[in-house]
A and B are shown apart, each in its own frame.
Chain A
Amino acid sequence: MRKILSIALVVLLSACANKTINPDGEEGNQANKGNMSGENTSGSPTVNPLVDPTNILSKRSIYFEFDEYVVSDKYKSMVLSHARHLRDNSNLNIRVQGNTDERGSREYNLALGQRRADSVKRVMTLAGTQDSQIESVSYGEEKPRAVGHNEASWTENRRVDIRYQGE
């Protein structure tokens, strides 16, 4: 039975490998998440903690104040939960994606987004996650989640997102 399950996982994994070619799967894809739950040691094999809304690992966004890049205390426990999850699952990799609001130079914003992503990565590596499991990248102002030209949109866009490989 165990063997059958792992074969099923391999099939699922390769299915997702193909899917990751699609540009930015914001919605994620369920097949992929199914495979991650199977490898999880903590809970029921049918619920993936990464998408379970009651699990802190389903929380993926860290917000920043204007011109800020330090991870504020209210996101620490979430970031550390991901750090632990990665430490416990050394086969998992993530990308932390930095974003900024639209004001100012595109390239300077790309660098600011990178600094935010690096800052989240640092919290995780200090907590023992392998450096090789985390790639920090920046979208700068190029992929805004909120498209308005106002403070509400800017607040939403000053953000780092955590994405597990295949998502």
Chain B
Amino acid sequence: MWNSLHQSSGSILVLIFCLFSSPLHAALDIEIFGGGASQIPIAIIPFAAEERLAQSVTAVVRSDLQRSGLFRMVDSVSSIPHEPSEIIYPDWQMRGVNAMVIGATRLLPNGQVEVRYRLMDIAKQQILISDMETVSVKQLRAVAHRMADSIYEKLTGDIGVFSTRIAYVAKQGERYALKVADADGFNARTAIEYTEPIISLAWSPDGTKIAYVSFENKKPVIHVQTLSTGERRAIARFRGSNSAPAWSPDGKKIAIVLSKKGGSQIFLINSDGSGLRRLTKSSSIDTEPNFSPDGKSIIFTSDRGGSPQIYRMAVAGSASRVAERLTFEGSYNVSPQYHHDGKNFIYIHRNDSQFNVAIQSLETRQVQLLTDSAFDESPSFAPNGKIILYATEIKGRGILAAVSSDGRTRQELSTQEGDIREPAWGPLPKWRRKF
């Protein structure tokens, strides 16, 4: 039944990334392990005049695509084309290149940068994408991420997530900071800092707010913070403990866990803190709710069967003890999260004394273990469902890691200092939510 993909770890390839930009913004270093069997060979040629820019565009595109595990980089040896007419196709075909990115940058008199690029099909000698953007120097990384998204989508048929953001908690000494960074770990900013713990980050579906649990009042209280303004409000500060916020897909409601009626039970509250309604009614622990993509059901952790397992119940109707048990392997399955297809979910499975990320099909109940580290927690899907971000530990220090949903590619993202935990992958930016 267990389908671990790590037997092949003998042949695992380790690539250490040199991130090209200023270390000032490099909050996370990224290390990649493994890679898919069918990687697309691609050549990303440095753009004309790119060396004059403070921020290399192609370096970011390259690192984005490489991190996905779906591409193999082929370096240019002699020719450095910037226009389709400069490409010597037979040379590149002989080197097994399928796709090529070429382009040019131009510094405009007003300080803006014009970036032109093309994605070429080397076999068919065709232009697949031809695009141009004019941006400020500060936006060059963002342009590169958008470019990587387009290239990724064109070549894989899937949604690119390079323009998304992640949130996590960085603990340094007695300080806890809620950080929001680009998906590659750059541009990390502190949204709020406390001298008490912060846990359970949850992005609103539109990406404008983050709900979290803080302990500043000597007990767990749920806050919602607006990222653009920094404004925050306690949406659940009931008697007892308040925790485990999870947004409904329409962003109007938040499932929360309260102990005000005794035990830990799941409730539903409006995202402004009004209209409390109880969802579960059991004498056991019911916690870690997560909404299905259609918003009609939640999956959650409960120990009603004697050990913590994942259950599913409908959101409509009155508070109920009735729920369908979904996990049966092992005695500890927690922290569930739906895939955006609604057909699979991930969770943390305890295997002897190890805690690992598992993915399970709702239909076939087939389970696959995706990681084999000692202590993984807080798994969170990228909005394309292809990558899972989670927290793990190396030498007693918390770091972030990511694994592809087929278990083939893993990455570790570590900071220079402190301890990082509780990652949550943000939604697609608004302009791309047509998918």
Residue of A108, A136, A142, A149 touching B215 (CB-CB under 8 A): A142
Question: Closest Cβ of chain B: how far from A105's Cβ, in Å?
Answer: 4
Residues of B within 8 A of A115 (CB): 263-264, 285
Question: Closest Cβ of chain B: how far from A7's Cβ, in Å?
Answer: 29
Residues of B within 8 A of A136 (CB): 240, 259
Which positions 228-257 of chain B face chain A at CB distance < 8 Å?
A: 239-241, 243-244, 257
Residues of B within 8 A of A111 (CB): 257, 263-264, 285, 287
User: CA–CA, A103 to B219, complex, Å?
Assistant: 20
Q: Is A110 in contact with B241, judged by CB distance below 8 angstroms? A: yes
User: CA–CA, A111 to B219, complex, Å?
Assistant: 13
Which positions 198-236 of chain B face chain A at CB distance < 8 Å?
A: 199-200, 215-216, 218-220
B197 at the interface (CB under 8 A from A): yes
User: CA–CA, A106 to B212, complex, Å?
Assistant: 13
Q: Is A110 in contact with B262, judged by CB distance below 8 angstroms? A: no
User: CA–CA, A118 to B215, complex, Å?
Assistant: 18
Fill in one digit per residue for A33-68: 1 if any B CB lies within 8 Å of its CB, else 0.
000000000000000000000000000000000000
User: CA–CA, A140 to B219, complex, Å?
Assistant: 10
Q: Is A105 in contact with B335, judged by CB distance below 8 angstroms? A: yes
Residues of B within 8 A of A118 (CB): 259, 262-263
Q: Is A110 in contact with B334, judged by CB distance below 8 angstroms? A: no
User: CA–CA, A110 to B288, complex, Å?
Assistant: 10
A107 at the interface (CB under 8 A from B): yes
Residues of B within 8 A of A114 (CB): 240-241, 259, 263-264
Chain B residue with the shortest CB-CB distance to A148: B396
B149 at the interface (CB under 8 A from A): no
Fill in one digit per residue for A123-167: 1 if any B CB lies within 8 Å of its CB, else 0.
000000000000111111011000001000000000000000000
22 A-B pairs within 8 Å (CB atoms) are namely A23-B216, A24-B196, A24-B218, A105-B288, A105-B348, A105-B377, A105-B378, A106-B200, A107-B257, A108-B285, A111-B257, A111-B285, A114-B241, A114-B263, A115-B263, A118-B259, A137-B240, A138-B220, A139-B215, A142-B197, A142-B199, A143-B197
Which A residues are closer than 8 A to B by beta carbons?
Answer: 23-24, 95, 97, 103-108, 110-112, 114-115, 118, 135-140, 142-143, 149
